[in-house]
Amino acid sequence: MLSRLLNFKETMSYLSIGKNTLLELLGSGELKGFKIRGSWRVHEDDFTDYINRLRGVESTDTNKEFGNIRKLNQ
């Protein structure tokens, strides 16, 4: 099954941060993302890795500690 891509607004919402802060995270590479036709996307695994790094958790299984981003939607 393919993992989910978060759009810019979803990522801002999940992190409770503003546009400029998210642009800084993406621009610095602290949070991995990429553009599709000029719109930022963040792979859910990269989002989970970022959260785990903030929490000080090193995990090769991104679902192990923080959990799958789909669980946040429920």
* Secondary structure, 3-state, the chain: CCCCEEEHHHHHHHHCCCHHHHHHHHHHCCCCCEEECCEEEEEHHHHHHHHHHHHCCCCCCCCCCCCCHHHHHC
pLDDT of residue 62: 47
Domain ranges of the chain: 5-67
Give 33-70 pLDDT, tens digit per residue: 999 999 999 999 999 999 999 999 875 554 554 555 55
The pLDDT confidence band at residue 71, using thresholds 50, 70 and 90, is low
Would you say residue 31 has pLDDT above 50? yes
